[in-house]
Amino acid sequence: MLSSIQSHIPSWTVFFQAFIALVIPILIYRVYVRLDNLGEDKLSSSGSANIESSRDPLVADYDDNMQLIKSRIGANSDVVIREVTVGGVVKAALIYVKGMQEDHLLNMRIIQSLKEMDAQIPEQIMERFPGSSAHAVSSATEFSQGILIGFMALIIDGRKEGLLITPPQCPSREVSEPVSESLLRGSRIGFTEDLSINTALLRKQGLSEDLQIRSCLVGQTIQRELAIAYMDHIVNPDLLREVNDRVAQIKLDYIAESGYIEQFIEDNYLSPFQQVQNTERPDRVIAALLEGRVAILLDGTPFALIVPVTFSMLLQSPEDYFERWLPGTLLRMLRFGAAFISLMAPSLYISFISFHPGLIPTELALTIIETRQGVPFPALIEVLILEISIEILREAGIRLPKPIGPAMGIVGGLVIGEAAVQAGIVSPFLVIVVAATAISSFSIPVYSAGITLRILRFAAMLFAAILGMYGTILFFLLIVCHLSKLKSFGVPYISPFTPYRWSDWKDFFVRVPIFLMKKRPKLMKTMQSKRK
């Protein structure tokens, strides 16, 4: 029966496949090199993330200052201006954005303190605000910007400086468990949308004078605060300088999420692989900082960025280190195998069924042929039907409300798979292959890395449909060549596989006991090579 299948393949196709196998790699390589070179010069050195504020000074006259501030922000309906008197004599005004402070705290701690105190100098007034910190500014631009980002502002007659007072309490989401990185064993704390809370969570991981956090403003029309975290005596100064330079080159009106920053600072925007890792877990960030990496946190998002990143990091989980080294190693090796299955399983199915059935064991080949009786589509169309259905169900499960989303994905997959088999559209063996592929993709710890493998899976299927096993091997070699050239902030993406460093292999495929990992990764070129 196998010979009858092979007899349907014309002999000239062998010469056609050999010709294509020689020509297509050359063409694809030339196109890839051309596009890759275009991506290397994406970042330009013009521009800066911080807008230089005009130094229009505040004056000693209360009315002039109020007119200046009202001309800038007074037209906003959510800006509240409350005029009071300091000690019942000196005119003053408290300006804030409605909803960013709690009114009873405002009345108790700020306004009441102003009414009871004497007309004092600003430094003494600062001491009268319990639970708050205040600083003086002399620029009207800085003063108005401070109001709009949540500070309470105080103008006092006769003073050339205004006060920006940090509100005692700002509304924000409570600290909760990370949604995208849940663990069975480990911390249940995740970042929130408040940058000050996120930096505090990093500090609460443990006492260290080496942990440095530097902030700046990004965005040209709407500015947001960005923080860069690193370990002072560990990080490579060249890496830190490169991160600062790339962040400073971002020119955008508004940065809504850290994903915007990721797209601006990555090395090669044409690559399907992510070159910046995102995480909601403070413990993962601290672990990366101790390896000499740099973290970027943006106000308004719970996702922090870690640079540089390697491919093996995307298949690692904090749980690998919380468990003993044998279970941790087993779980990690399972993820590497699952990543390969998620990427190559459908293309291998197409190659074997359509071009190389002789490579399948005879009994298994007979079973597959029997289950494919009556299927009207070639293997490629058959696989595409199921794969696209699974992807739609996966996306629908994410967008649906949480109580019914998981149930919809599971039930929908079972119903569609069973109905397709009963209708004779797909074979039962293919349902097993697609189900194994989908389950394997769920085992990837980083969601963005799973998306990359899902995209490349369709490309691998097309290669397999055109050239069979030659195309599958060609596709895999192209991916390997691309990964060997790809870098993240100067660090080879598939290190420590290449360039080879034996000491870094202790935390690669195998996770050796923690007491044997005495050195930090050599690929990071840290200032301190040994762990304390």
Residue 361 burial by Cβ neighbours in a 10 Å radius (0-12, 13-18, 19+):
exposed
Strands, sheet with 224-231, edge to edge from the N-terminal-most edge strand: 211-218, 224-231, 294-298, 304-307, 277-279
Residue 496: the pLDDT is 86
Domain end position, chosen among 254, 283, 309: 309
- Each residue of 243-281: pLDDT tens digit? 999 999 999 999 989 999 999 999 999 999 999 999 999
R_g of the chain computed on alpha carbons: 30
The answer to whether residue 530 sits within a structural domain is no
Residue 97: the pLDDT is 79
Residues 285 and 225 in one domain: yes
Residues 215 and 303 in one domain: yes
> Residue 255: which domain range?
195-309
Q: Are 275 and 250 in contact (CB under 8 A)?
A: no
- Neighbouring C-beta atoms of residue 358, cutoff 10 Å: 12
Residue 49: the pLDDT is 35
Residue 278: the pLDDT is 93
Domain end position, chosen among 309, 343, 377: 309
Residues 459 and 338 in one domain: yes
The answer to whether residue 35 sits within a structural domain is yes
Residues 433 and 488 in one domain: yes
Beta pairing, strands 224-231 & 294-298: antiparallel
Q: Look at residue 491 and give its three-state secondary structure.
A: strand
The answer to whether residue 172 sits within a structural domain is no
Residues 300 and 356 in one domain: no
Residue 47: the pLDDT is 38
The answer to whether residue 344 sits within a structural domain is yes
Phi-psi region of 18 (alpha: psi -120 to 50; beta: other; left: phi over 0): alpha
The answer to whether residue 502 sits within a structural domain is no
Task: Please state the φ and ψ torsions of residue 296, each to the nearest 5 degrees.
Answer: -125, 125
Residue 235: the pLDDT is 92
Name the token pair of 204.
Answer: 């609460």
Residues 209 and 275 in one domain: yes
Residues 374 and 482 in one domain: yes
The answer to whether residue 448 sits within a structural domain is yes
Residues 329 and 420 in one domain: yes
What predicted TM-score, i.e. pTM, was given to this entire model? 0.76
The answer to whether residue 14 sits within a structural domain is yes
Rounded Cα distance, 265 and 276, in Å: 8
DSSP, res 107: I
Provide the b/e sequence for 410-437 (b: ≥16 CB within 10 Å).
Answer: eebbeebbeebbeeebbbebbbebbeeb
Residue 54: the pLDDT is 44
Residues 232 and 286 in one domain: yes
Residue 40: the pLDDT is 45
Residues 377 and 238 in one domain: no
Which residues fall within 8 angstroms of residue 175, CB to CB, at 6 or more apart? 189, 190, 192, 197, 201
Domain end position, chosen among 242, 274, 309: 309
Q: Are 153 and 92 in contact (CB under 8 A)?
A: no
pLDDT digits (tens), the chain, 532 positions: 444 444 444 455 555 555 565 666 666 656 555 545 544 444 333 333 333 344 578 888 888 888 888 888 766 777 888 887 776 677 888 888 777 666 665 655 677 677 666 555 555 565 555 555 677 888 888 888 888 777 888 888 887 888 887 765 555 677 778 877 878 888 888 899 888 889 988 988 887 888 899 989 898 888 888 999 999 889 999 999 999 999 999 999 999 899 999 999 999 999 999 999 999 999 999 999 999 999 999 998 999 999 999 999 999 988 889 889 999 899 999 999 999 999 999 999 999 988 888 888 888 888 888 888 878 888 899 899 888 888 888 888 777 776 666 666 666 776 777 787 887 888 888 888 988 998 898 888 888 888 999 999 999 999 999 988 999 999 999 999 999 999 999 899 998 888 877 778 888 888 888 888 888 888 888 887 777 6
Which residue has 């960030």 as its token pair? 285
Residue 246: the pLDDT is 94
Residues 376 and 472 in one domain: yes
Which residues fall within 8 angstroms of residue 516, CB to CB, at 6 or more apart? 506
The answer to whether residue 333 sits within a structural domain is yes
Residues 296 and 410 in one domain: no
Rounded Cα distance, 94 and 152, in Å: 7
Name the domain count of the chain: 3
